[in-house]
């Protein structure tokens, strides 16, 4: 910790450490929200917490800036909770164990929470400073961003006084995001029936597909990484074609917005077909390893024989066939590329989780698109799959896209200050991921917004890191921008 607290910018690092002592997975944000509210009140600043646990803290302008347009600094307090299979960590009560690896700040086998704790830490450092020059500042920290932007969607934007909106939820230094995709989260729930199977002459096999890279289902959907759930469908399909299998259980992935890294399923097979079963696993494992040798070089398929009683409940054959049909047939990954912005993903779909819950097999999806009509077209496609398989289709959350605003003074000033402080031209881009400015600008189109942040990689995975030197440069730029505005 001594080495950690020597890093620059010291105030930002210290606040990030404090934040990471508080468990703050999506839906578990009361403690971190209370911490932020207390921070503002302890400093005599206007501070409110709404019923959704969003926190707004307002700091008056410094001398000479009283007549300037106010600035809103915004981020979210929740984080994605992912850990390695062999990591012992309870995200409900354990603090994040932070590590320094060269220029990287990372965590010990878990997600770091730099997405978006770094934004919160930079915002707190700005509010805590007595040396920065700035107009009136509003720090808005929202809840539940990672699972549907519930906090942002329900926040009363009439409380905001500022004109310029600085979102700190981007992950590449020197890139100014000025628009983003909208999103929709949904579920297909397939009803399944079970029957009792005599185990005499049968074996129960558990199969694990693991060691995939995974990652963020928005910004990393274009990296051609394997989806463990789709590969599991392929594996079950081949087994079903050649062996009389019975499906007992299946689960994999963790969240709709994370490309799944692991899946597990249990099947019953005839005892005399164990050799063929292993041959199919080995053959398909070799095919998959070759196909994903660049994006997912360590993919592994392993199986184990489980002890059972004389009978076992298995999914009825027709329901199993339907489940496999959905796994194989459902679309996944990039759905369209932009004809307007070269190399930019226009729309995508991620199958992020599958689980057998009582008498239903549940599939979770995250749909993203910069074009609203395409978002609904993909949604309609999933709904059609559900209807044809007698499944229930449920929309769980939706957020709007953020369209580009031309002639933005905030963007103009930001580009000028960035070039002045770094000697480099920033890259102005759109983002294929939901960021909260889209939600706020839907009801407040008068606001000008950009999204920036330091270099981060592998967010939403245990390999997440943030560049320490990039964090220092980004915070310096933000301080310069506040003064310039």
Residues recognised as catalytic: 78, 145
Phi and psi at 168, nearest 5°, equal -110, 45
User: What Å distances lie between residue 24 and 28, 193, 258, 467, CA to CA?
Assistant: 5, 38, 17, 22
Q: How many CB atoms lie within 10 A of CB 318?
A: 10
Distance CA 85, CA 263 (A): 12
Question: In whole angstroms, what separates CA 164 from the centre of its chain?
Answer: 26
| Cross-strand pairs, 66 | none
Is residue 259 within 8 A of residue 82, CB to CB? The reply is no
Phi and psi at 20, nearest 5°, equal -75, -5
Distance CA 80, CA 128 (A): 27
Q: How many CA atoms lie within 13 A of 423 on its CB side?
A: 0
What does the longest C-alpha to C-alpha distance in the chain come to?
Answer: 85
Task: For residue 189, give the 3-state DSSP assignment.
Answer: strand
Distance CA 262, CA 361 (A): 17
Please name which of 145, 182, 157, 187 lies closest in space to residue 27, comparing C-alpha atoms: 145
Distance CA 55, CA 437 (A): 16
Is residue 124 within 8 A of residue 140, CB to CB? The reply is no
Question: Which string of b and e fits 161-186 if b means at least 16 CB within 10 Å?
Answer: ebbbbbbbbbbbbbbbbbbbbbbbbb
Q: Tokens 């053959």 label which residue?
A: 283
Lookup: tokens for 299: 């993919």
Containing H/E element for 278?
helix 274-291
Containing H/E element for 474?
helix 468-484
């Amino acid at each position: 910790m001594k080495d950690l607290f020597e890093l620059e910018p010291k105030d930002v690092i210290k606040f990030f450490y404090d934040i990471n002592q508080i468990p703050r997975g999506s839906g578990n944000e009361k403690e971190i929200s209370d911490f932020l509210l207390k921070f503002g009140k302890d400093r005599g600043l206007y501070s409110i917490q709404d019923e959704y646990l969003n926190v707004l803290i307002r700091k008056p302008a410094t001398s000479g800036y009283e007549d300037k347009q106010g600035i809103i600094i915004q981020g979210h307090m929740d984080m994605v909770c992912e850990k390695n299979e062999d990591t012992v960590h309870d995200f409900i009560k354990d603090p994040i164990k932070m590590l320094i690896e060269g220029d990287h700040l990372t965590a010990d086998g878990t997600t770091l929470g730099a997405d978006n704790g770094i934004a919160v830490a930079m915002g707190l450092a700005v509010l805590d400073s007595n040396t920065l020059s700035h107009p009136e500042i509003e720090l808005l920290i929202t809840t539940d961003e990672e699972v549907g932007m519930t906090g942002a969607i329900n926040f009363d934007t009439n409380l905001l006084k500022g004109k310029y909106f600085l979102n700190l939820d981007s992950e590449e230094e020197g890139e100014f995001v000025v628009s983003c995709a909208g999103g929709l989260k949904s579920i297909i729930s397939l009803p399944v029936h079970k029957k009792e199977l005599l185990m005499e002459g049968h074996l129960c096999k558990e199969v694990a597909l693991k060691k995939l890279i995974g990652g963020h289902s928005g910004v990393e959907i274009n990296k051609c990484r394997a989806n463990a759930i789709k590969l599991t469908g392929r594996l079950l399909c081949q087994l079903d074609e050649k062996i009389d299998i019975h499906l007992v259980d299946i689960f994999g992935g963790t969240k709709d917005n994370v490309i799944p890294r692991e899946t597990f399923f249990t099947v019953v097979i005839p005892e005399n077909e164990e050799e063929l079963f292993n041959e199919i696993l080995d053959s398909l494992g070799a095919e998959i390893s070759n196909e994903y040798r660049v994006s997912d070089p360590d993919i592994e398929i392993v199986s184990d024989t489980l002890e059972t009683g004389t009978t076992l409940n298995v999914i009825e054959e027709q329901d199993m066939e339907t489940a496999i049909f959905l796994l194989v047939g459902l679309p996944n990954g990039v759905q369209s590329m932009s004809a307007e912005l070269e190399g930019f993903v226009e729309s995508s779909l991620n199958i992020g989780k599958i689980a057998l819950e009582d008498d239903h097999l549940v599939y979770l999806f995250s749909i993203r698109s910069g074009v609203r009509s395409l978002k609904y077209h993909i949604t309609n496609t999933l709904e059609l799959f559900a209807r044809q398989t007698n499944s229930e289709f449920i929309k769980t959350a939706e957020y709007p896209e953020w369209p580009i605003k031309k002639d933005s003074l905030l963007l103009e000033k930001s580009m000028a200050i960035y070039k002045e402080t770094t000697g480099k031209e920033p890259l102005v881009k759109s983002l294929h991921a939901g960021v909260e400015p889209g939600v706020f600008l839907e009801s407040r189109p008068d606001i000008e917004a950009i999204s920036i942040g330091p270099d981060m990689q592998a967010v939403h995975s245990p390999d997440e890191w943030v560049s320490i030197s990039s964090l220092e440069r980004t915070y310096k730029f933000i301080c310069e921008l506040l003064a310039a505005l």
